[in-house]
A and B are shown apart, each in its own frame.
Chain A
Amino acid sequence: AQSVTQLDSHVSVSEGTPVLLRCNYSSSYSPSLFWYVQHPNKGLQLLLKYTSAATLVKGINGFEAEFKKSETSFHLTKPSAHMSDAAEYFCVVSLSYNTDKLIFGTGTRLQVFP
Chain B
Amino acid sequence: GAVVSQHPSWVICKSGTSVKIECRSLDFQATTMFWYRQFPKQSLMLMATSNEGSKATYEQGVEKDKFLINHASLTLSTLTVTSAHPEDSSFYICSARDRIEGQPQHFGDGTRLSIL
Chain B contact residues: helix, strand, loop or mixed: strand
**Closest B residue to A6 using CB positions:** B43
Query: Is the Cβ of B34 less than 8 Å from the Cβ of A100?
Result: yes
Tell me the minimal C-beta distance from B112 to chain A in angstroms: 6
Question: Is there a chain B Cβ closer than 8 Å to A45's Cβ?
Answer: yes
**Chain B: interface residue total (CB-CB under 8 A):** 26
**Closest B residue to A52 using CB positions:** B102
Query: Is the Cβ of B46 less than 8 Å from the Cβ of A42?
Result: no
Q: Which of B12-20, B68-76, B103-111 contacts A (4 or more CB under 8 A)?
A: B103-111
Q: B91 to chain A: which residues have CB within 8 Å?
A: 41
Query: Is the Cβ of B101 less than 8 Å from the Cβ of A43?
Result: no
Contact A46 B102, CB 8 Å, known A104-B43, A107-B43: no
Would you give the 0/1 interface string for B50-76, flagging 1 where the beta carbon is closer than 8 Å to chain A? 000000000000000000000000000
Can you report 26 A-B residue pairs in the complex whose CB atoms are below 8 A from each other?
A32-B102, A34-B104, A41-B110, A41-B112, A43-B4, A43-B6, A43-B95, A43-B107, A44-B93, A46-B106, A46-B107, A51-B102, A90-B43, A97-B101, A98-B102, A99-B101, A99-B102, A99-B104, A99-B105, A100-B32, A100-B49, A102-B46, A102-B105, A104-B43, A107-B42, A107-B43
